[in-house]
Amino acid sequence: MTILWVSAQAASGGAGGFLVSIMPLVLIFAVFYFLLIRPQQKRMKEHQAKIGAVQKNDEVVTGGGLVGKATKVDDEYVEVELAKGLRVKAVKGTLSDVVPRGSGKPAND
């Protein structure tokens, strides 16, 4: 911090002064990119891959918090069985989580 302040005083203007005054903004953007933007993009890609790979008999959680078993999967829609004989059709993009077959307990206990 002191080094930047001293070098800002040493630069008497011109291109050197402009670069020194712009440097904190570049550093702030770099910190935001590596700590906020990049991890969020990574989570979004993982989520899209998980939703794209949903298969029949996977346990799914909808955006509204309903938990059920996927009984039919199309390109755009997923039929979710919430209870025996109760099936709803959900848009695939509204799924918030997918648990693969064979992991955990059944959703309708």
Q: What is the pLDDT of residues 2-49, one digit of tens each?
A: 555 555 455 455 678 888 899 999 999 999 999 999 999 999 999 999
Q: State the DSSP code for 93.
A: G
Amino acid 68: pLDDT: 95
**Cβ–Cβ under 8 Å, residues 99 and 58:** yes
What pLDDT is attached to residue 11? 47
Q: Check: CB of residue 76 under 8 Å from CB of residue 90.
A: no
Give the closest residue to 104 by CA, choosing from 54, 69, 47, 59.
59
* Residue 102's pLDDT band (cuts 50, 70, 90): low
Task: Output Rg (C-alpha) for the chain, integer angstroms.
Answer: 25
Backbone angles phi, psi at 67, to 5 degrees: -115, 130
**Structure confidence by residue, pLDDT tens digits, 58-75:** 999 999 999 999 999 999
- Tell me the per-residue pLDDT of 7-17, one tens digit each, with 9 for 90 and over: 545 545 567 88
